[in-house]
Amino acid sequence: MTSSRLVNFLSWVVVSFVLMIGAWVVYRFAAPVQAKADLEKSIPPTPNTIVYGGRIDIPTFSPSTKLSSISRLADLHTYRPTQPRFAVTQHTVEKGDTAWTIAKKHNIQPETILWSNEGLSTNAGSLRVGVMLNILPVDGVLHTVREGDTLERIQALYGVSIDEIVNFIGNNFRGAMPDKLLAESQIIVPGGKKQIVWQEPGPRVLPGKGRKSPGYYSGPLAYIGSSYFSWPISPIVITQPYWSGHLGIDVGTYERQPIFASDSGTVIFSGWDTTGFGNLVIIDHGNGYWSYYGHNYANLVREGQGVVKGQQIAESGSTGNSTGNHIDFRIRIDAGGFLNPADFLP
């Protein structure tokens, strides 16, 4: 082989080797980058990806790696479980608060709000903006010790064993039976229950008297309802449902929003309610049902007036014991008890 041919052959070998090395480098490093870019475009974020300002970070993988084998990224956030509460805390009533919304916020039952604040036990609608409420760490009763009180008496009052009271950490008895309870101290009774006493809207309905009770229109009825009720306002934003301390449904409104008769009937009360419901309208539907519309800015109907379903009867407001604009809507069986309006509404 001549020298020129040898040189050409060696040059060809070198170039081929360089090209092979270059191809291997491209395959080794460029392919995973392109695959990662293609993957970022083709899949949405999942629990196995981390999103930073719209960019998806995915671990680098080799060309032979299958999508099903992508490993979960390490979670750099430390999970800190919520610590149980044992002490009584406070909540300041804000605009729009109800016993139900406060209870929901603190993960307790609304009855507990009443049973841990003596001033609310007589009327669930007596919340006032700025009032400080006790919030128990568990459902139950907050008992204020009176002179001469004993654990035996507390047990009898609320139906909770002495051991449960003494062993509850928040009471600081440290498992030991106290010799004497300190007057005016407060004891948490976990699981305890009290009777809820509430005031009915409007004049008191005497047993067996119905609208013949003092304070109600007792003349002839103008219309008979269909027994099919409609919402008295729209849109529907329920701020407090029916529960044992609130025998109606609260619907949030804006000031002076129109309120309509839920069914046809006769107005038997239209005026100021002294029990906390402000401007109140009560309609007798002549079929065994009454409907109530409370906290109105203004009543637009008078006693004895007949109204048809869907007729405007008031403008909504926040009169009486109220923390914000809403309507308290209730349905009652004539001279009987209040029913859950949700069972009658579409």
188 has pLDDT over 60: yes
User: Any residues with CB less than 8 A from the CB of 274 and at least 6 apart, and which?
Assistant: none
CATH 3.40.50.920 is right for the domain spanning 89-190: no
Question: What number of other Cβ atoms are within 10 A of residue 25's Cβ?
Answer: 10
pLDDT at 122: 57
pLDDT at 127: 81
pLDDT at 5: 62
Let me know if the fold of 89-190 is the same as that of 210-343: no
pLDDT tens profile 191-209: 999 988 778 899 999 988 9
Q: Kindly report the pTM of this predicted structure.
A: 0.72
Instruction: Report residue 312: phi and psi, to 5°.
Output: -70, 130
The CATH class of the 210-343 domain is mainly beta
Greatest alpha-carbon span in the chain: 133
* Mean per-residue pLDDT of the chain: 82
pLDDT tens profile 89-124: 999 999 989 889 999 999 999 999 999 998 776 555
Sign of the C-alpha dihedral, residues 93, 96, 98, 100? negative
Burial label for 193, CB within 10 Å (0-12, 13-18, 19+), is middle
What does the domain layout of the chain look like in residue ranges?
Answer: 3-69, 89-190, 210-343
User: Any residues with CB less than 8 A from the CB of 165 and at least 6 apart, and which?
Assistant: 151, 154, 155, 171, 173, 187, 188, 189, 190
Q: Which DSSP state fits 345?
A: -
